Amino acid sequence: MATPYELSQSRVVVVGSINVDTYFSVASLPETGQTTSISASEDIPGGRGVNQAIGVALLEKPVILIGKTGSDSESDHIHQELDKYNVTTQGITRMDHINTGKAYIYIAQSGNSTISLIPGANNYVTAEYLEERRQLFQNCKYCLIQSEIPMDGVEKACDIAHAAGAKTIFKPSTLKEIPKSLLAKIDIILPNIDELNELQPGSGSLIGKAKLLLESGVKTVIVTMGSDGSFLVTQDIQQQFPVAAFPLIDNTAASDAFISALAVYLMDGYDLIKAIRIATYAAGFCIAREGSSTSLIDRKSLEAYIRQQAPELLTK
């Protein structure tokens, strides 16, 4: 049987959460004992899986998303949004009697945010489910995975991706520890500074904590630090990258924008340093816009801006 066209191209596979994001605009983030007034609210398709898949599609790379939704109206909205961006959705299953995942996101006037999750159908993206969809990893070059699905699903995604010759990029969130068996299967891990400190508690330095991840088998650590930019740690490199100069409106999907761009430009043959710098601009565009998937940047706009600011980045 001939391979379907969408599976014959080199592409990115995203394995992760599919949510409806409910945004609440507030003057300041909620604190214990306080009542917070909400000035506006909006429902937008989101979840790190959706955001990263749309981010890759906007940067003009074929992408397939693997995950689960409910059979509710929210699922219909998500499928319509993914179809609009040409994200291949044959890896998504609708579950009966289970709700689509939900995220409740508070956005303060400062641009900072807090997120609460109801996993819903995301809890069923298991190792068995991914094994049944192994053929979807054919011709995968980078596999983007997040921790908002079960850990056995994360580890199986890494196994299948590596068997297909792909590299893995993992975003840890809501995790206090990562099994050592999983760390050894991660090519690039992208915690923010708070996530790094959760994974490696104690008074050690950022570099020291990143090196502990390297010692556990991770190949590359990129720590995002908000307004302080990002920091790359490998066996051979320790380098900080400044943030791109964009106004902070909403930082919810900044890491998803960064990861999407990083994967696309690595796939296009850019070296890691240039790919990180390009990804920093993609994240910059993202924080200057409201929303999650709606804040992501397209390739033409991104490269037009980079040609004005740092044209040397676009030469391999």
For the stretch 174-207, pLDDT in tens is 778 899 999 999 999 999 999 999 999 988 999 9
156 vs 132: CA distance, rounded Å: 11
Q: Residue 56: its pLDDT value, please?
A: 98
In three-state secondary structure terms, 92 is strand
77 vs 90: CA distance, rounded Å: 16
44 vs 103: CA distance, rounded Å: 10
| Res 79 pLDDT > 60 | yes
| Res 8 pLDDT > 90 | no
Long-range Cβ contacts of 234-237 (<8 Å, 24+ apart): 234/272, 237/272, 237/273
Q: Residue 75: its pLDDT value, please?
A: 92
The total number of residues written for the chain in this structure: 316
Q: Residue 119: its pLDDT value, please?
A: 92
Contacts of 290 (CB under 8 A, 6+ apart): 23, 107, 249, 250
Tell me the pLDDT tens digit for each residue of 270-309.
999 999 999 999 999 999 988 778 889 999 999 999 999 9
Q: Residue 32: its pLDDT value, please?
A: 76
Give me 303's structure tokens. Answer: 């490269």
Q: Residue 176: its pLDDT value, please?
A: 82
Q: Residue 36: its pLDDT value, please?
A: 77
Give me 59's structure tokens. Answer: 């940067």
Q: Residue 240: its pLDDT value, please?
A: 98
pTM of the model: 0.92
Q: What is the average pLDDT across 129-155? A: 96
Give me 288's structure tokens. Answer: 């200057």
Q: Residue 7: its pLDDT value, please?
A: 63
> Can you list the alpha helix ranges (DSSP code H) found in 200-298?
206-215, 254-267, 272-287
What band does 165 get if pLDDT is binned at 50, 70 and 90? very high
Average pLDDT, the chain: 92
The partner residues of 224 in beta bridges, in order of sequence, read 192, 230
Cβ-contact 27, 83 below 8 angstroms? no
Tell me the pLDDT tens digit for each residue of 238-249.
999 999 989 988
Give me 161's structure tokens. Answer: 């991706």
Greater confidence (246 vs 25) lies with 246
What band does 105 get if pLDDT is binned at 50, 70 and 90? confident
Q: Residue 117: its pLDDT value, please?
A: 84
What band does 109 get if pLDDT is binned at 50, 70 and 90? confident
Q: Residue 25: its pLDDT value, please?
A: 82
Q: Residue 1: its pLDDT value, please?
A: 46
What is the topology classification, in CATH, of domain 5-18+47-97+122-314? UDP-N-acetylmuramoyl-L-alanine:D-glutamate ligase (3.40.1190)
Q: What are phi and psi of 239, to 5 degrees?
A: -145, 135
The partner residues of 65 in beta bridges, in order of sequence, read 14
What band does 6 get if pLDDT is binned at 50, 70 and 90? low
Q: What is the average pLDDT across 66-79? A: 93
| Res 2 pLDDT > 70 | no
Contacts of 76 (CB under 8 A, 6+ apart): none
Q: Residue 4: its pLDDT value, please?
A: 60
Q: What is the average pLDDT across 146-165? A: 96
DSSP 231: E
Q: What is the average pLDDT across 45-65? A: 96
